[in-house]
């Protein structure tokens, strides 16, 4: 009995020690876990703090919107300079121009040279002397009465400036100006030229002035006639097929230089307006008897629309020398106005445009002798009438 009590006491003491040791172990474990959690929290806070301190900043460079202006003022401007950074809208316009310029002004440089690109000579100034002659011929009253007239040679002097594909010419009658008279004959023209396209517009007018009549019916001779007036304007536009080897501008606008002989077929459209008035009441009394009937007011007023097709050829017969010949006939629709001699009518339009040029180029200077003829042939049941404009022109110019 005694032994039994001793065993129970020993077991109770052992269990108490084990329980106490287990409690201490759990306490230590909890303490360690709390310590580790605190350390992890401190580390996380430290990492967050470190991260917030080292956040990257915006390093995008600030765009200077006026840099392109200062670049142009400092180094000059060329539309082909790709190093200039333009504002978006202006950049689009510049790129569009570059594309068009390449598409419309490409040449094979073994045949044609553009001084504006190779030498930077984009502008021209010229002095011109133009000698203008009008010629009129036809038949009146059912083609039974022939008539023929021509004007005096009108000597015009003027200037021409051009650049970037556009040109402007203005001419005056120097003789009448010096004499203090009204300038009877006036001419205004412009042109636009590229390697592929040639466009030319004109306006010509001579108020009632003296011409020479050489034939009227059965009469043949030379008499002054003061009853003729003429006004004309028009626009021609045609496409040059062999545009890489042939330059129409080299012969007539002097903006290109043709190095080798070449030619090209060309075709296009035209618009012209002609108004020619012959007041036969101003004939000498002796000539009125040769009129076919009582009609004394002959007016040929009409407007043409049509197509033209022709050929141009430039012959380089010596270094710096060019000879060109171009012929472009046309056909189309003619609208005769109510106050014209035949009244309101639809007719066939037939015209001719021919040119020749001799050009000498020496460095930036050039000299040219050109001849052009423009003819309009009016035909109806009762009348035929050919009115033409011929011009011999001397030019001296300089590229810069």
Residue 177's CB is within 10 A of a number of other CB atoms, namely 12
Q: Is 367 helix (H, G, I), strand (E, B) or coil?
A: strand
Same domain, 249 and 293: yes
Judge whether 23 lies within some domain: no
Q: Is the pTM of this model over 0.85?
A: no
**pLDDT one-digit tens code per residue, 90-126:** 888 888 878 877 777 789 999 999 886 666 677 889 9
Instruction: Give the torsion sign (CA, 312, 118, 129, 193).
Output: positive
Same domain, 254 and 368: yes
Same domain, 324 and 203: yes
Looking at the chain, the whole-number percentage of residues with pLDDT higher than 90 is 50
Q: What is the pLDDT of residue 71?
A: 82
**Mean pLDDT over residues 264-283, rounded?**
96
CATH number, domain with residue 140? 2.40.128
Q: What is the pLDDT of residue 183?
A: 53
Same domain, 97 and 236: no
Residue 161 scores a pLDDT above 80: yes
Residue 365's CB is within 10 A of a number of other CB atoms, namely 11
Same domain, 143 and 85: no
- Number of domains forming the structure of the chain: 2
> Range of 166's domain?
112-399
Same domain, 295 and 351: yes
User: Which of 104, 124, 155 corresponds to the end of one domain?
Assistant: 104
CA pair distance 189, 205, nearest whole angstrom: 12
Judge whether 20 lies within some domain: no
CA pair distance 271, 290, nearest whole angstrom: 35
Q: What is the pLDDT of residue 153?
A: 84
Same domain, 84 and 145: no
262-279 and 257-258 beta bridge pairing: unpaired
Q: What is the pLDDT of residue 180?
A: 55
Residue with more model confidence, 293 or 176: 293
Same domain, 214 and 327: yes
Judge whether 302 lies within some domain: yes
Judge whether 90 lies within some domain: yes
Same domain, 98 and 169: no
Same domain, 129 and 83: no
Nearest 5°: CA angle at 267, between 271 and 275?
A: 20
Q: Where are the alpha helices (DSSP H) in 160-290?
A: 174-178, 248-252, 285-288
**Mean pLDDT over residues 193-216, rounded?**
87
**pLDDT one-digit tens code per residue, 279-334:** 999 998 889 999 998 899 999 999 999 999 999 999 999 999 999 999 999 999 99
Judge whether 56 lies within some domain: no
pLDDT band, very low/low/confident/very high, at 9 (cuts 50, 70, 90): very low
**pLDDT one-digit tens code per residue, 225-238:** 999 999 999 999 99
Same domain, 227 and 271: yes
Residue 173 scores a pLDDT above 60: yes
Residue 165 scores a pLDDT above 90: no
Same domain, 126 and 268: yes
Judge whether 29 lies within some domain: no
The lowest-confidence range among 75-84, 131-140, 240-249, 355-364 is 75-84
């Amino acid at each position: 009995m005694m032994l039994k009590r001793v065993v129970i006491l020993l077991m109770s003491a052992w269990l108490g020690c084990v329980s106490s040791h287990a409690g201490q172990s759990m306490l230590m474990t909890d303490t360690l876990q709390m310590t580790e959690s605190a350390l992890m929290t401190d580390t996380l806070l430290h990492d967050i703090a470190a991260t917030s301190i080292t956040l990257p900043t915006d390093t995008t460079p600030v765009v200077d919107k006026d840099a392109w202006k200062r670049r142009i003022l400092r180094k000059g401007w060329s539309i082909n300079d790709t190093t200039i950074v333009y504002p978006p809208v202006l950049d689009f316009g510049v790129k569009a121009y570059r594309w068009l310029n390449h598409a419309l002004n490409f040449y094979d440089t073994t045949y044609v040279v553009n001084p504006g690109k190779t030498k930077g000579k984009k502008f021209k100034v010229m002095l011109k002397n133009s000698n203008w002659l009008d010629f009129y011929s036809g038949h009146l009253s059912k083609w039974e009465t022939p008539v023929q007239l021509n004007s005096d040679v009108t000597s015009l002097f003027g200037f021409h400036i051009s650049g970037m594909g556009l040109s402007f010419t203005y001419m005056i009658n120097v003789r009448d100006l010096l004499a203090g008279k009204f300038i009877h004959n006036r001419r205004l023209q412009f042109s636009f030229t590229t390697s592929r396209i040639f466009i030319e517009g004109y306006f010509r007018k001579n108020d009632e002035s003296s011409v020479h009549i050489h034939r009227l019916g059965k009469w043949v001779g030379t008499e002054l006639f003061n009853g003729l007036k003429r006004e004309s304007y028009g626009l021609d536009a045609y496409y040059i097929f062999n545009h890489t080897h042939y330059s129409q501008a080299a012969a007539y606008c002097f903006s290109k230089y043709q190095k080798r002989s070449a030619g090209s077929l060309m075709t296009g459209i035209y618009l012209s307006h002609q108004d020619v008035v012959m007041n036969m009441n101003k004939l000498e009394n002796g000539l009125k008897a040769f009129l076919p009937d009582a009609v004394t007011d002959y007016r040929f007023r009409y407007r043409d629309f049509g197509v033209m097709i022709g050929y141009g050829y430039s012959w380089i017969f010596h270094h710096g020398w060019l000879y060109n010949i171009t012929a472009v006939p046309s056909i189309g629709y003619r609208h005769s106005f109510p106050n014209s001699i035949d009244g309101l009518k639809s007719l066939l339009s037939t015209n001719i445009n021919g040119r020749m040029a001799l050009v000498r180029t020496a460095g930036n200077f050039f000299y040219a002798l050109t001849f052009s003829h423009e003819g309009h042939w009016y035909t109806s049941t009762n009348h035929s009438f050919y009115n033409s404009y011929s011009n011999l022109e001397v030019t001296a110019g300089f590229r810069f």
